[in-house]
């Protein structure tokens, strides 16, 4: 009887230890359409957004980049998606509407405008030919959408930090 209690207690402590490794849910508001108007008005400009993933109870996020260029009326969205579509496999360019979220809102993680945005936009435009993992997607440990965001941030020198819920951000880039 005592042995069973110790095993049950050990199992419970082990489960609590594993739960401590799981990030807390990330709460994000509904995206503000004014942020898109600001993006267009500030061209060249780029924003990094994160959407909590609904089926993971918002304990993981999906990032995507939005950018616009002077004289271009379009807002471009660039991201890695779990299913392969189109010419760049998992790398989607202008495939999803700019403010589409994962049904849990979106957090604006950062924005760059003017000359500060140019290196990020260059990295995003070069991603179809330069991003190493565009043909591979693994939810855990990566490469995934968070690995892609990390690669763009590193390549462009943008010092935005992804939230703890960005599983895959530490996947080796090289």
Report residue 31's pLDDT band, with 50, 70 and 90 as the boundaries: confident
What would the two tokens of residue 160 be?
């935005």
Q: What is the model's pLDDT at position 160?
A: 95
Please tell me the predicted confidence (pLDDT) of residue 116. 95
* Euclidean distance between CA atoms 67 and 81, whole angstroms: 18
113-116 long-range contacts (CB < 8 A, ≥24 apart) are: 113/42, 113/43, 113/44, 113/45, 113/46, 114/42, 114/44, 114/45
Whether pLDDT at 57 is above 70: yes
At 35 the pLDDT is: 85
Q: Which 3 state secondary structure label does DSSP give 66?
A: strand
* Residue ranges per structural domain of the chain: 23-156
Q: What is the pTM of this model?
A: 0.84
Q: Which residue has the tokens 């959408």?
A: 145
DSSP state of 45: E
d(CA 133, CA 135) in angstroms, rounded, equals 5
Q: Where are the alpha helices (DSSP H) in 42-114?
A: none
Cβ atoms within 10 Å, residue 122? 12
C-alpha pair distances (Å), 8 with each of 12, 13, 16, 18, 22: 6, 9, 12, 15, 21
Provide DSSP, 103-151: SS--EEEEEEETHHHHHHHHHHHHHHHH-TTTT---SSSSSSHHHHHHH
**Mean pLDDT of the residues in the chain:** 86
* 76-80, strands of its sheet edge to edge: 91-93, 76-80, 61-68, 45-52, 107-113
pLDDT tens for 130-146 read 999 999 999 999 999 99
Can you list the positions of beta strands (E) in the chain? 45-52, 61-68, 76-80, 91-93, 107-113
Q: Is the pLDDT of residue 173 over 80?
A: yes
pLDDT of the residue at 1: 56
């Amino acid at each position: 009887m005592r042995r069973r209690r110790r095993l049950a207690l050990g199992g419970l402590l082990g489960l609590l230890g594993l739960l401590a490794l799981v990030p807390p849910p990330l709460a994000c508001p509904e995206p503000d359409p004014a942020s898109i108007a600001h993006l267009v008005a500030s061209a060249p400009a780029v924003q990094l957004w994160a959407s909590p993933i609904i089926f993971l109870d918002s304990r993981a996020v999906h990032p995507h980049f939005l950018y616009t260029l002077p004289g271009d009326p379009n807002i471009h969205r660039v991201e890695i998606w779990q299913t392969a579509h189109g010419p760049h496999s998992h790398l989607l360019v202008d495939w999803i509407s700019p403010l589409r979220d994962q049904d849990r809102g979106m957090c604006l993680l950062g924005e760059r405008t003017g000359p500060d945005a140019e290196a990020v936009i260059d990295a995003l435009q070069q991603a179809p030919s330069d991003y190493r993992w565009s043909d591979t997607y693994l939810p855990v440990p990566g490469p995934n959408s968070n690995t892609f965001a990390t690669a763009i941030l590193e390549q462009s020198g943008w010092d935005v930090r992804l939230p703890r819920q960005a599983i895959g951000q530490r996947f080796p880039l090289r």
